[in-house]
Structure 1
């Protein structure tokens, strides 16, 4: 059974023919000079490819949804006590005093044994595993040192330009302005039809009116509306496909029909066009020459590097290469495969070669961001788990962190037990800590508590404390800190001083909250019924989303 039938049966709802006619006649898109016009009605529906029978069914469904919501809400009654409780919730304030038991404050009290070190190390060895590492020695040939050797003639410039013509392409672009009548993806069919009708009406105005003023008045695109809807130039592939297709079909000054996109309905006005083509050589000559110089400089550097490598690769002597090229040998130090290479940076080609070349061997020249590198594998350190002595400082930190949290919680629990038994809070403050206060605050802050931040469960528990039962019966935790909390001050809120206007405003707020809760409960009941299916769009309408 569909929702419409189910609700009519369960809530005894129906829409009369007269009510349906009146609701349609009240839609501005179907009116001429403020009065319903049948020809306008049929014209708008024809443009939207809707038959009157289908639109009337959609309108009836929407009315039924509205009636359902109103019927469900009418059962909500807000008492004076409900209003008084809400006033107290909003205006009652409390001040908490608390002691923080921070784990860091107990670190100095922790004494670790050799057995603890051994046990932790044995149980967490994978945590300390070190991946294979390599170290390189290298020399770098800077391509910029070869720039003065490069001479570029006009024929080379012409050839480069022709070979790389796509690099200088100019994409076809158009400039456009638009008026957007936005439609939410969750909108029901009646709303969609009404927005489409508005778009049609705006298009008719735009055909003889001032597009800029209409955009300022009607467009839901706030980023462009103030500027008359102007978007500026854009290329293909940057806009919604439907919008883009329509915009590229327009000449300057030409208006589109109503265009549907995922955002809603658009009226588009063409404002200009840049035809596809290529930048002239004269406009990019300097860029071409720079590319040629860079390309040739790198070729010369690589050529020298290869010559030096080929002469020395059998001996594996990077020192000889450095001496011959008058360069300095640089050491990277050890690094892992997944890391950037020290003094070089990220170079996947070089990393792959470094981890596949034996120790003491040369690596053929590799291009990099800063030039050409000739490298030698200086050291290989296999993957391993370091001895405890190597990682003892790390183990110590982990142990201290864990043990200090345990001790902080233990001390906090003991302090809480004493305070519950009647010991003053100030008497159980641990060494190095101090008794703190939040200052007065209300429940309007939600889970946030001044000076503490968001501490799980604290705000809710704090407002249940009383002057008689002022101590919170549990610890509260944030990170590695535990809190013992006590109500120090209660500033009550007396609803007797409310004006009639304030009273009704709060009543309205409570009414809305209770209606929402009732709606959710009713909808949940309907959804649980085995014979009822609720369409998502109708469900969203009933829920008011």
Structure 2
């Protein structure tokens, strides 16, 4: 048998196969050869095709990291892992359905196509040429093998081909775009009258019986949620710094070390400001050459600088310390020797040539004047060095202890209290969802353990425990009576205003005037558009919801604000449409894209509904 193998290995076919293996290994590594041979457990099967556990877990991890990156303060405890896993699995099923559809349509990329795409991707190139090591490293950092990455590219490319084709095939009727533009540009002429709440206040009366009845009917709204009172320790840089003693000797040494920085340095600067643009580089080169030829900086500032105020004084800006100028300007200025001119410096104002004309430093303030500030700085610096160590120590002590007083005493920290914390949180630091979730966990709430040490902010960590638990309970009527009364008064006032407004509208429709009804003068508005910022949005919504008047006026009512507003719509001015305008073209393209996306969504649903999906 070995002899047969030896003989066959000398044949032409064997040599070709070996050559291909060598090329594949040299470019893609072992993944290109063995990637497809390893069987893996699956999480679902779509039309006979497996979705592997490894692929599923990798995408779950990527999605979890993506959601964490979007948090202001990343906290894994805030992630709903079950929801993520559910959404990822459905996305992978949908991807498999789409990939299979693309294959049925004959859309595919050859290995050569994939190789060409990969070797042309800038992120895999060094000095303009494909670099295998960079490619493999980048793929590994994604948590993928080379073969897996190639197959992912193959799937996504063909799926996107179908998606793009369907979306771009979306059509929209020109008249639909024109009608939308007419509505958008429409203006209306109308008048308003206002009936204040005081006009119906004598009709509003709320009895004790009504309050009691409302309380009984809405009892759930007046329940206090379950709450806890908590005891907690805060570890922060400032708290740690308070327990760090700074000796007089250390303070003196720190003062001596900072002496150079404590002396305030101010620099007198002049500049020539050139407007940034196509000619800026040429202008700067001309100025630099004339400076090199011995011409005065001040004269050139007067001739070229667009900062006309300083140009009249030869570009002089006067003295300034740090924190005054644009960061780029400041960095350049404070790097110059006295009398030196900078290279061009770009800021939001334009391009500068900067000259340092003088440097002056104030005397270092005496230690007594800076003692408190420097002592705090030094303590904070030392606290920063110790923070990670103390945090670990506190986490260990709190985990082992059945109280907080021991860890607090050992580390010189304070045990604080906070009352009335609900599952929705409370005042800081219990506005942190992860800490609140821990506080209401079974171990902490029922078993009496401390929470884990939770990072609630930069260099701030909290450990807490439940001091007292209160079950959800009904608030007595006496405690909420005033709130209920106010609610009922508001409801009855609005009802009375609505009835009064409708009665006035009925009388106006019979031809009576506002004066006859004792409502004063109408306030008139003409050519008002939908986006007018000066009017109440609710009022505008009412105005633009009224039917176009055939003859006379159409009336409506609005209860926003502190009263009822009666609207008389007199005319509707249809917006004009220029079918050659950019606005019209944008709306037409937008409608076509929306229709294309709707068609693609329907296509996805069709494929998904007819797919055979099995889950273990």
TM score, norm. by length of structure 2: 0.36
TM score, norm. by length of structure 1: 0.40
